[in-house]
Structure 1
Amino acid sequence: MNKIKWLGTIFGLVLLLTGCVSPRPTIGQQRQAILQMKGEVLAELYQLNPSTRAQINAAPGYAVFNNANVNIILASFGGGYGVVTDNRNGNNTYMRMAEVGVGLGAGIKDFRVVFVFHNAETMQRFVEQGWAFGAQADAAAKAGDKGAAVAGEVTVDNITIYQLTESGLALQATVKGTKYWQDDTLN
C-alpha cells in the first residue's frame, strides 16, 4: 500500500510540475509576437509624429526593434529583437540585437527603435552585415504613460532613427557598439 501512495504522489508531482511549465512558443507564435510589437510601436510613433507614416511608406524599408538596456557606472549592455520590412516586396527579415558600451551612466531602460532606410543598399547592408556603431546621450524616467523621456541617437548612412522609451529610469552618455544579425530560427 505504501508503494501505491508513493507512486501516486510522484505521479501527482509530475503532473503538477508539467502543468506549471509553459511550452516554448512555436516559430509562428514568435513571429506573430514580433509583428504585433512592430504594429504597436508604429501606431505609437504615428500618434506622436504623424509625418513619420508618409516617410516610412515612401522608404524602401524600415526596421522596428525592442531593446532592453542596462547601464552600470561605466558600462552599458543591452539586447533585443525585431524585424526589417522591405516595402518593395513586403518581405520581413527577423533579427536579433546586442549592444555593449562604455561611458557614464546608471539605470535600466526598455525602449523601441524604428530605423527608416532611405535607400535599398543601406537596408540590404543592414540585413546582411547588421553592424552599427553610435553614441547615445539620454535621460529617461518613465513607467507606462507616466513620466517623460528625451533621447538622441547619432547614426549615419542614410538611416533615420526614432527611439520610443517604454519604461525605465536612466541617465547616460555612452559610446556603444550594436550588433544586429538575422535570426536563423525565425527566417
Structure 2
Amino acid sequence: MTRTLKTIFAITLLNLCVSMPALSKSAAEERAESDQMVQESLADFKKENGELASKINGAVGYAVFSNAGINLFVISAGGGHGVAIDNISGKRTYMNMGEAGVGFGAGVKDFRALMVFKTRESYDKFVESGWLFGAQADASAKAGDKGGSAESEGAVGDVEIYQMTEAGLSLEATVKGTKFWKDKDLN
C-alpha cells in the first residue's frame, strides 16, 4: 500500500511540475525558449543521423518535444512541451504533452522526441487531436556527455519518430499512451 501511495504521489508531482505555467515568463519568452529547444534538438538529431535533414526538409511538417519521464515499477508518466512546424506554411504550433503507461521498469529521464510527418493528413491530425499510442523499450544512463542510451526509432502510419536521451537513468519496457495538445497560452 505504501509503495502504491508513493507511486501516485510521484506521478502527481511530476504532472504538476510539467503542467504548471511559468509565473514569471511572458508568452513571448516561453515561445523563444521553445524555439531555441527546437533548434538545439534538431542540431543534435542531425549530428546523430545525417539522413534526418533531408527527411525533415522533404516532409509536410515535423515536431520536436522535450520530455521528462518517470517509471516506477509498473506505472510510467511524463510530460513536456514542444513545437509542431508546418514546412509548407511555416506556421508554428506550440504544444504540451503528457504520457502514461504500464510496464516494467524504474528510472527517470529527460529526452527529446522528433516526429517527421510524411502526409498533410498525419500532420493535421496530430496538431488537432494529438493522440499517439505505442510500445517502448529502452535503457539509458546518461549525464551530460557521459554515458549512453539505446532508444527506439519507429514509424506510426505516416509519422517517423526519433528519440534522444539528454540525461537520466532508466531501464524500461512499457506500453504508453501520449496526448499532445495545443498550448492555449502560446498560440
TM-score (norm 2): 0.87
RMSD of the TM alignment (CA)?
A: 1.2
2:52 corresponds in structure 1 to 52
2:18 corresponds in structure 1 to none
CA distance in 2, matches of 1:127, 1:134: 18
CA distance in 2, matches of 1:50, 1:35: 21
Measured against aligned partners, the alpha-carbon deviations of 1:39-97 in whole angstroms (never above 9, x if no partner) come to 00000111111110011001000000000000000000000000000000110000000
CA distance in 1, matches of 2:144, 2:120: 35
Q: Is the 8 A contact 1:134 1:153 kept in 2?
A: no
Aligned residues: 166
Task: Supply the AA of the counterpart residue of 2:138.
Answer: D
Task: Supply the AA of the counterpart residue of 1:27.
Answer: A
CA distance in 2, matches of 1:160, 1:119: 11
1:96 corresponds in structure 2 to 96
Measured against aligned partners, the alpha-carbon deviations of 1:84-124 in whole angstroms (never above 9, x if no partner) come to 00000110000000000000000001000000000011000
1:15 corresponds in structure 2 to none
Q: Is the 8 A contact 1:115 1:160 kept in 2?
A: yes
The worse-fitting range, judged by mean Cα deviation, of 47-56 and 26-35 is: 47-56
2:13 corresponds in structure 1 to none
Task: Supply the AA of the counterpart residue of 2:141.
Answer: A
Runs of at least 4 residues off by over 3 Å: none
1:144 corresponds in structure 2 to 144
> Residues 23 and 131 (structure 1 numbering): CA distance in 2 closer, same or farther, change over 3 Å?
closer
Q: Is the 8 A contact 2:71 2:107 kept in 1?
A: yes
The worse-fitting range, judged by mean Cα deviation, of 151-160 and 114-123 is: 151-160
CA distance in 2, matches of 1:86, 1:92: 7
CA distance in 2, matches of 1:163, 1:134: 13
The worse-fitting range, judged by mean Cα deviation, of 127-136 and 150-159 is: 150-159
CA distance in 2, matches of 1:138, 1:177: 16
CA distance in 1, matches of 2:131, 2:33: 24
* Bigger radius of gyration: 1
